[in-house]
Amino acid sequence: MREGSSPLIRREDYTAPAYWIRSVDLTFDLDPAKTLVVNRMQVERNPAVAAQALRLDGEELNLTRVLVNGDSVSFRVENQQLVLDNLPETPFTLEVRTTCAPEKNTQLSGLYTSGGGFFTQCEAEGFRRITYFLDRPDVMATFSVTLKADATKYPVLLSNGNLVEQGTLDGGKHYAKWVDPHPKPSYLFALVAANLVCREQKIRARSGREHLLQVYVRAGDLDKTEHAMNSLIASVAWDEARFGLSLDLDRFMIVAVSDFNMGAMENKGLNIFNTKYVLANPATATDADYAGIESVVGHEYFHNWTGNRITCRDWFQLSLKEGLTVFRDQEFSQDLVHSPSARAVKRIEDVRTLRQHQFPEDAGPMAHPVRPDSYVEINNFYTATVYDKGAEVVRMMQTLVGRDGFARGMTLYFQRHDGQAVTCDDFAQAIADANPGSALATHLAIFKRWYSQAGTPRVQARGHYNADARTYTLELSQQGLPSPGQPTKEPWVIPVAMGLIGPRGEHLPLQLVGEDAPVGTERVLVLHEERQRYEFTGLDVEPVPSLLRGFSAPVLLEDHLSDADLLHLLAHDADPFNRWEAGQRLALNRLLGAIRTGQALHLDAAYIEAMRSVLRHPTLDAAFKELVLTLPSEGYLAEQLEEVDPQRIHQVREAARLQLAQALHHDWEWAFETHQVRGGYSPDPVSAGQRALANLALAYLCLGASVTHDPVWPGRTYQRFKDATNMTDRLGALSALVNSHAELAEAALQRFHALFRDEALVIDKWFALQAAASEKDGRVFARARQLLSHPDFSLRNPNRARSLITALCFMNPAAFHRTDAAGYVFWADRVLELDAINPQLAARVARAMDRWKQLAEPYRSAAREAIARVAARAELSNDVREIVTRALA
Ligand code: PHE
Ligand code: ZN
């Protein structure tokens, strides 16, 4: 843990570095207890900055020697920095020797051990835990790295770039030397020394260049690497085809490690991955896992250009690489499927994630702009806002300039900035400059408020049909709510993709007053003032507006549509996203009504029939049906309310689920029977959609049986659980039993554990399923608390810790928010325990309380008390302190 309290770092305080480090030669003598690092740097003054001392960052290092041009010099260590005065005016060599203790590194930042091997994680500021350095992204150097280690324990020695030399050493050791020709910031450095095996494949790129692709895993996991390799091959091909960006390395490696704080890391040529995003076979991984691997492999690969070739000037620009790269991985996954409806399914899933994570963040104490203005701990700003809202900002640019225009903008961005460390402004400028005359170029200054203003804009839409004039007037207005440090907001540029739908479901031609002819049946209105009016003409019938198609902007839309309008859109909208949205809105209206009034929920025939006709629809995809028939989550419902009683939300949502189960019983039986996938397992979207719908049907059938006490469906579900030939079906059946509190759930859980006791990622699912189960009489919470002392549980492994704690505190509001405050006590205890082990992870868990001010009593007071208890702890990390301080502010 760091000493002292760290200051607020401000974006406006940025200054260029006083020195450049042009190249680095590192030698590692790897030992778990004491690793020796010899670091030789070529350093020169930055003439653009006033002469001053050189200050190198370092953390938890033992410094043993400092030489300048081979001679010992005087130095001091001050505020965790190595300070050197009186340095030569001309370029010089600086050698620094340090030692560190990888086996004691439980934070998993810097050099650490996992499963008997060595791994690194340097983003954002982990390199300073390996050696003294200018650990900031605008200092880029070429790296040459020599690794020395025991040859039997660590047969595989990897670092960035190309392997140039290897051999044996005395004392049973061996060595390998790697050279990375591409200058890079320190956060992209990586090394691995471990006992691993690899799947490899040679590919020939469009350009004709040959590349060696490798996926490294532990010996027993080789049969789980095919999907990651295929995803990597597809990623290489996609970036060439869509953006003309090819792989710039002879060799590209992915290494899987089971102790990892995040999903994966884009180190140059040596991506290090959480095993969760590499390992999959049909028996152990679900369709969702397969999809997650595809997108994370894509994401890290795409960083090679957006992040590595062009990197961030400073960490405030994090979204420059993350927002853009999330956008790219979303587009990649969409482009891999061929039907428009499968593309829409992916879009709906992405929007659901955004609304579930980013919208609450933007409305709570951690709200910050996509390009933040200040931070205490940068690790706390790897957020849904920087990633997912950042991706929406890039998507809006593409909407405003068109797909081809966006590709031109990317080309210009690389022409201008390849090899540089730049800002979000540079990116937006390149896209705009490549598209003169576009709405983006015209409104660029206003558009860039998406980078500077926090909070989700609210858009109001009001329409009026004038039968005599045959016109339809649409008035759009926007408004921003205050957020921490930003009391007032100015208008944003908001692209509103839209259409008008006639009474027979026809899509009406869109002609604005003043235009000679209609411009198709879909167009993008660009709202850039507080209020704008659009008058459509030539309309013989009153339309229902379909607004914000494909979720064309990350806003909260209030369109004042009636139930009848929403039913009309659900039945007829050509835009699948809005069709889904209409179904969700119908459910929301009913659920929120019951939650607010306290009256019993009664799902009316119109709603039930609408759901039945989607379910039975002859042409809609199963995956799409599953999304429509899934009710909005408890978390999303909470976000719609002024004051939140999590128990009431749960009660009403469960009532709705039960009514859907009962009213559609025969339809669920039909859906289950008719959506069986035969033959071998394939994660393709059509089969995955069928499995998803069959699993949803099974969940409803078991839920229905929980009140009729009819043993048939639980029995069939248990049988299916036992006979399943893939994890999606097995986990689906298990989940149906557990969530309906069937008697057979216990036996199934035991059997599941026995079957998969040696598969860590599957045991994570076992914990998560139980902790996220539908709460009933406090049983789920009690079970989760018991599971803390299960022999397989541990806080040291982030995946395992999350499997229980995140599942309970983030994914299960009804089990977590208890009138006796036991959930909050559980939370505070875990945050404090984790903080001593892994502050980054502790700070993530701490955010479960972000929205406490929205809670009704008695939850609110109890929540404040729990947060205050954490905040009162003296020896708290900066990471957790920043979160709880903001929460209490
Ligand atoms: N840069 C990684 C990604 O988004 C995420 C990450 C951040 C991983 C910090 C580790 C530490 O791909
Ligand atoms: Zn990323």
Q: Is residue 2 part of a domain?
A: no
Distance CA 171, CA 180 (A): 28
Q: Is the pLDDT of residue 402 over 70?
A: yes
- Cα(124) to centroid of ligand 2, in Å? 12
Cβ pair 475, 550 in contact under 8 A: no
pLDDT digits (tens, 9 = 90+) for 136-164: 999 999 999 999 999 999 999 999 999 99
The CA-to-CA distance between both ends of the chain, in Å, stands at: 24
Q: Is residue 296 part of a domain?
A: no
CATH number of the domain encompassing residue 713: 1.25.50.10
Distance CA 560, CA 558 (A): 6
Got the DSSP string for 48-79? TS----EEEE--S-EEEEEEETTEE---EEET
Question: Is residue 60 annotated as part of the catalytic site, yes or no?
Answer: no
Pick the closest to residue 343 from 351, 204, 751, 207 (CA basis): 351
Distance CA 856, CA 834 (A): 28
Task: Find the helix packing angle between 685-708 and 287-302, rounded to 10°.
Answer: 140
Q: Is the pLDDT of residue 555 over 60?
A: yes
Q: Helix, strand or coil for residue 166?
A: strand
247-256 mean pLDDT: 98
Q: Is residue 570 part of a domain?
A: no
- Predicted confidence band of residue 207 (pLDDT cuts 50, 70, 90): confident
At 168 the pLDDT is: 98
Q: Which residues pair with 146 in a beta bridge?
A: 27, 177
pLDDT digits (tens, 9 = 90+) for 127-136: 999 999 999 9
- pTM score of the predicted model: 0.99
481-497 mean pLDDT: 97
Cβ pair 311, 182 in contact under 8 A: no
At 206 the pLDDT is: 87
Ligand 1 atom having least distance to the Cα of 382: 7
Ligand 1 atom having least distance to the Cα of 109: 11
- Cα(775) to centroid of ligand 2, in Å? 35
CA distance to 268, 823, 827, per residue, from 848 (Å): 33, 11, 8
Q: Which residues pair with 27 in a beta bridge?
A: 38, 146
Q: Helix, strand or coil for residue 196?
A: coil
- Cα(376) to centroid of ligand 1, in Å? 18
Q: What does DSSP say about strands 117-121 and 210-217: parallel, antiparallel, or unpaired?
A: unpaired
Cβ pair 693, 716 in contact under 8 A: no
Domain boundary among 451, 483, 508: 451
Q: Which two tokens stand for residue 680?
A: 């071998």
Q: Kindly state whether residues 803 and 686 are assigned to the same domain.
A: yes
CA-closest residue to ligand 1 atom 7: 123
Q: Is residue 107 part of a domain?
A: yes
Mutate to test the pocket of ligand 1, among 121, 123, 189, 268 (most ligand atoms within 8 A of CB): 123
Distance CA 566, CA 717 (A): 35
- Cα(373) to centroid of ligand 2, in Å? 20
CATH number of the domain encompassing residue 443: 1.10.390.10
Dihedral of alpha carbons 519, 521, 522, 524, sign: positive
pLDDT digits (tens, 9 = 90+) for 574-602: 999 999 999 999 999 999 999 999 999 99
Q: Which residues pair with 84 in a beta bridge?
A: 54
Share the mean pLDDT of the chain. 98
Q: Is the pLDDT of residue 530 over 50?
A: yes
Got the DSSP string for 257-310? ESS-SSSEE--TTEEEEEGGGT---TTT--HHHHHHHHHHHHHHHHTTTBTTTB
Q: Considering the candidates 300, 626, 654, 882, report the single residue annotated as catalytic.
A: 300
Domain boundary among 262, 280, 298: 280
Ligand 1 atom having least distance to the Cα of 299: 12
CA-closest residue to ligand 1 atom 1: 265
Q: Is residue 166 part of a domain?
A: yes
Q: Kindly state whether residues 204 and 262 are assigned to the same domain.
A: yes
Ligand 1 atom having least distance to the Cα of 124: 9
Domain boundary among 527, 560, 593: 560
Q: Kindly state whether residues 61 and 200 are assigned to the same domain.
A: yes
Q: Is residue 300 part of a domain?
A: no
CA-closest residue to ligand 1 atom 12: 265
- Give percent above pLDDT 70 in the chain: 99
> How many other β-carbons are positioned within 10 Å of the β-carbon of residue 30?
23
Q: Kindly state whether residues 439 and 471 are assigned to the same domain.
A: no
Ligand 1 atom having least distance to the Cα of 379: 9
User: Locate tokens 């290489």: which residue?
Assistant: 236
Q: Kindly state whether residues 553 and 585 are assigned to the same domain.
A: no
pLDDT digits (tens, 9 = 90+) for 716-736: 999 999 999 999 999 999 999
Q: Is residue 295 part of a domain?
A: no
Q: Kindly state whether residues 509 and 403 are assigned to the same domain.
A: no
Ligand 1 atom having least distance to the Cα of 326: 4
pLDDT digits (tens, 9 = 90+) for 26-52: 999 999 999 999 999 999 999 999 999
Q: Is the pLDDT of residue 273 over 70?
A: yes
ipTM: 0.99
- Cα(116) to centroid of ligand 2, in Å? 27
Task: Find the helix packing angle between 822-837 and 859-871, rounded to 10°.
Answer: 20
Residue 376, domain extent: 311-451
At 3 the pLDDT is: 45
Q: For residue 126, which ligand has an atom nearest its CA?
A: 1
Residues near ligand 1 with C-beta < 6 Å?
A: 121, 123, 261-262, 264-266, 299-300, 303, 322, 382
Q: Is the pLDDT of residue 1 over 80?
A: no
Distance CA 839, CA 821 (A): 24
Pick the closest to residue 128 from 78, 82, 92 (CA basis): 82
User: Locate tokens 């001309």: which residue?
Assistant: 90
Q: For residue 328, which ligand has an atom nearest its CA?
A: 2
Q: Is residue 876 part of a domain?
A: yes
Mutate to test the pocket of ligand 1, among 112, 135, 266 (most ligand atoms within 8 A of CB): 266
Provide the residues around ligand 2 (an ion) whose CB is within 5 A.
322, 325
- Cα(123) to centroid of ligand 1, in Å? 7
CA-closest residue to ligand 1 atom 5: 265
- Cα(322) to centroid of ligand 2, in Å? 5
At 6 the pLDDT is: 80
Q: Kindly state whether residues 205 and 74 are assigned to the same domain.
A: yes
CATH number of the domain encompassing residue 544: 2.60.40.1840
Residue 479 contacts by C-beta under 8 Å, 6 or more apart in sequence?
457, 458, 460, 489, 530
Q: Is the pLDDT of residue 2 over 50?
A: no
Mutate to test the pocket of ligand 1, among 186, 261, 262 (most ligand atoms within 8 A of CB): 262
Q: How many helices and strands, by DSSP H and E, does the chain display?
A: 31, 31
Q: Kindly state whether residues 687 and 599 are assigned to the same domain.
A: yes
Q: Kindly state whether residues 438 and 487 are assigned to the same domain.
A: no
Q: Kindly state whether residues 145 and 51 are assigned to the same domain.
A: yes
User: Locate tokens 């001091």: which residue?
Assistant: 76
306-311 mean pLDDT: 98
Pick the closest to residue 274 from 886, 801, 882 (CA basis): 801
Q: For residue 840, which ligand has an atom nearest its CA?
A: 1
Got the DSSP string for 477-532? EEE---BTTB----PPPEEEEEEEE-TTS-B----BTT-SS---S-EEEEE-SSEE
Q: Kindly state whether residues 409 and 335 are assigned to the same domain.
A: yes
Q: Is the pLDDT of residue 5 over 90?
A: no
Q: Kindly state whether residues 91 and 183 are assigned to the same domain.
A: yes
pLDDT digits (tens, 9 = 90+) for 802-855: 999 999 999 999 999 999 999 999 999 999 999 999 999 999 999 999 999 999
270-294 mean pLDDT: 99
> How many other β-carbons are positioned within 10 Å of the β-carbon of residue 659?
17
635-647 mean pLDDT: 98
Q: Which two tokens stand for residue 826?
A: 């559980």
Q: Is the pLDDT of residue 4 over 90?
A: no
Cβ pair 396, 553 in contact under 8 A: yes
- Cα(409) to centroid of ligand 1, in Å? 25
Domains of the chain: total: 4
Q: Helix, strand or coil for residue 195?
A: coil
- Give percent above pLDDT 90 in the chain: 99
Pick the closest to residue 456 from 498, 393, 401, 402 (CA basis): 393
